[in-house]
Homo-oligomer: A and B are copies of this chain.
């Protein structure tokens, strides 16, 4: 008999790290008046256990820990693990431990589909779903623990290494997609997991977004900062086969998921000499990033960060091309971690207030018609004091392609 070599313990985080995360979730539940909850979303299960499984986590702060109801895989072990085939088995499994559950159980109503939400509510003895756990989980995950910050820093190191290699991946005459494929390969060889985890069901992207020339000004359906036609109407974003022309900027926003926790970074490259307009816009982007980093500390309103960025663009006479030209993204930054679109959101009407431990990508980008997209993006960890720590360290100037 061959022994299974992978760890089987349900909690890969260790007791202390899990306790830190649970404390945040329980505090959120308390504030929302939630006694108990079922977690089903894969990103939330990963947050609470350090691993992905299909099933549920039953959270009740009155108990000695979570209960894990696992549909798949079949090899997990540890305190509170129950194998189930369907959620209707949960109450009897709890009863088997001598546990009852409150009459109302919160569910992740922003991610679980209607049909399954109703089924889960009934399985737990409710007439219908009542309370939404999603905002609690979103709030908890917005503040990263030291260990999570460490995973983000590790992604940042590898991500930055790959970006420093990008100039050497270029060959004259390449199209945007050919260039992108070499960046993808370099990223994967450096350990990039490839997968681009995004919350919700209406954002899709493969391994990143490379834009040059007119294509940068094609509006895309997705709520990303930049657009592009893409290679096929089934995925209308990013590179579209444009040949990279000397003097035109190439914006590279490539996947930074090396550890399960992502960094987000954008840099621009150019074959031959960048035009003055591009250099100027890129410099403005760098200055906006620096200014926002210097502002980012606990208590600052996300909306004020956006307003500052927009004002700087306006002062430079670049408001029309800020965050797009034919179509404008409604934000200049976003939280990230397990997923690319976490809290806080740096947008004009955001109500988010920064906290220490937030991890935020700032991406002031400009689309210059006929030329392309220009600007940088960095990932910052918000500390107790400003400035926030930048974890994406590749050179910020427009880099020359070899």
Contact = CB atoms under 8 A, between A and B. Distances in A.
Majority SS at the chain A contact face? loop
Contacts of A369: 2
Contacts of A338: 234
Interface stretch (A50-58, A156-164, A373-381): A50-58
Contact of A184 (B107, B177, B188): B188
Sorting the interface of chain A by its residue count into under 10, 10 to 19, 20 to 34 or 35 or more gives 35 or more
Contacts of A118: 114
A397 interface: no
Contacts of A218: 4-6
A181 interface: yes
- Which residue, of A72, A217, A327, has the highest number of chain B Cβ atoms within 10 A? A72
A201 B202 CA distance: 12
Interface stretch (A223-231, A271-279, A298-306): A223-231
A393 interface: no
Interface in A99-132: 107, 109-118, 129, 132
Given A74-B219, A233-B260, A134 B115 contact: yes
B181 A188 contact: yes
A201 B201 contact: yes
Nearest to A338: B234
Nearest to A178: B189
A259 interface: yes
A87 interface: no
Contacts of A75: 219, 326-327
Nearest to A13: B233
Given A2-B214, A233-B260, A185 B193 contact: no
A19 interface: no
Interface in A360-384: 369-370
A193 B326 contact: no
A387 interface: no
User: In the complex this chain forms, how many copies of it are found?
Assistant: 2
Interface in A180-222: 181, 184-185, 188-189, 191, 193-195, 197, 201-202, 204-207, 214, 217-222
Contact of A233 (B51, B117, B326): B51
Given A113-B113, A259-B232, A260-B235, A204 B214 contact: no
A220 B73 contact: yes
A236 B112 CA distance: 21
A41 interface: yes
A193 B237 CA distance: 11
B181 A185 contact: yes
Contacts of A134: 115
A71 to B, nearest CB: 8
Contacts of A72: 219-223, 327
A12 B369 CA distance: 26
Contacts of A260: 232-235
Interface string A43-64: 0001000111110000000000
Given A46-B234, A73-B236, A181-B188, 14 more contacts: A2-B369, A4-B326, A5-B218, A51-B236, A52-B235, A110-B116, A112-B113, A115-B132, A184-B185, A191-B231, A193-B234, A193-B235, A197-B234, A232-B260
Interface of A: 2, 4-6, 12, 41-42, 46, 50-54, 72-75, 107, 109-118, 129, 132, 134, 177-178, 181, 184-185, 188-189, 191, 193-195, 197, 201-202, 204-207, 214, 217-223, 227, 229, 231-236, 259-260, 326-327, 338, 369-370
